[in-house]
Each structure stands twice: as C-alpha cells, then as structure tokens.
Amino acid sequence: MSSSARLITLSGITKDYVLGSVVVPALKGVDLAIDRGEFTVLMGPSGSGKSTLLNILGLLDRPTTGSYQLEEREVGDVDFDQLAEVRNRRVGFIFQSFNLVPVLDVLENIELPLLIGGVGVDRARVQKLAEDVGLGSVLHHRPDQLSGGQRQRVAIARALVTEPALVLADEPTANLDGATSEQILELMLRLNRERGTTFLFSTHDPRVERRARRVLHIDDGRVFAGKASAAAAPTTTAAAVP
C-alpha cells in the first residue's frame, strides 16, 4: 500500500448514458481529491449525479472519460476482473437497505467478503470486529432477529472486514430512527478516529452533514466544495476540490 496521504484523485471524470439516440451526461468533468482518514459527506438532489459518482468511486461502473486513481493506481480503465479484485479488497460498502443474507448469522454475514475474495477467514478476528461494533451478544442471530440498528452494525462490520482503504456509505441512516442514527454515526466516527478508515457518505440527512469534517455538494453532474465542519478536526489535511 502506498504511504501517500492521498487516497483518491479524480481528474476530468465524465459519465454519459445513452438512451436510444439521446446521450444523457450524468457527470460533467468532476475533479476530486480525498486524503486518507477523511470523514466526508456528499450531498445533492435526486438526479444530480450522486449515485453515479458513488458507483464510479466504488468501481461498480466506469467513467466515460477522465482519470480515477485509487492509492495512486489508475483504476478507471482496468478490466472487470481486476476491478472486482480491487473492489473486494480495497473498497467497503454500507447500503441503506443493509443487504444482509437472511440465511446467514451475524458472523457469517460479516465473513462473506472474505469468502468471496478467497481469503482465509480468521474467526477470532471477525468476532473481535463484531464485538467492536457492539454485536457481541447477537453473534449467532440471523438478520430477522435483529433491530434496524443492529443490522446496520452488521453492514458496517462487513464493510470493514477486508480492511479497505475506502468505505462508501449510501444513505446509511435512511431507514433508522433518530436515536439509532446518532448511535450509528458515533460508531462510524469512532472507527474513523481509531482505525483511520476513510468514509465517504451520500446522504440527505442533516445529522450526517453536521458530523462530517468536509461537505461536498453535487448538482447537475458537477462537484463543489462545501465548508469544513467545525464539529471535529480532520485527521488529515483535506485536499481541496477545484
């Protein structure tokens, strides 16, 4: 892994969708830099390009043009097999719908990315991670036996189990009540501080915005820098967005 502070560099990223004879531009020349250890929020209205940008950052889609460097490696144009390998090992995902496998218990759901990636499972390490996120009393429960907050904690642990460089969270508090949302945000802030994990959130939730150390706005396919939050000092010097 590179020792550089810079984790992500996007340069001139565009994404076009072709609908019949019509070309729809979703991203229009996005330039973005994110350093290791950031806790950043991406905010924007529906149709702004937010989901498209997250999909590209998460290596689920490719840009039409431009450069995407992850840990100083160009990943915008590598083949799909290489993308899958990098995605599995270096990127974690937290979804608003949790996306847990209903027939697997807590530990088995957390282990799933390791099994998919063909990595040996250290059950003691997985259990320690589950306990760190507050799941020690429900390790062998299945998703239908868990509360919404517990399910989201499973999703967080699953995202962290491969020790990724980047965790992308898509509306992580959307299906949670206010008190549970605050608990989940505190958990992710603690993991950011203690593990140095880089988090990038897509959200409409002002509670998430208030906790962010940097806020980015996206509108009409373009990204704009927001003001750094006074809620917490950044763990690294945040790179400016042109």
Domains of the chain: 6-100+163-225 (3.40.50.300)
pLDDT tens sequence across 43-99: 998 889 999 999 999 999 999 999 999 999 999 878 888 888 888 889 999 988 889
Q: Looking at 52-144, which runs of residues are DSSP E strands? A: 65-70, 73-74, 91-95
Beta bridge partners of 18: 23
- Dihedral angle, C-alpha 122, 123, 126, 130, nearest 10 °: -170
Alpha-carbon distance values, 3 to 7, 99, 104, 146, 160 (Å)? 10, 33, 37, 39, 20
pLDDT tens sequence across 118-144: 888 899 999 999 999 999 999 999 999
Looking at the chain, the whole-number percentage of residues with pLDDT higher than 70 is: 92
What is the mean pLDDT of the segment spanning 107-126?
A: 91
pLDDT tens sequence across 167-201: 999 888 888 888 888 888 898 899 899 989 999 99
Provide the residue count of the chain: 242
The arrangement of strands across the sheet holding 6-19 comes to 22-35, 6-19, 65-70, 73-74
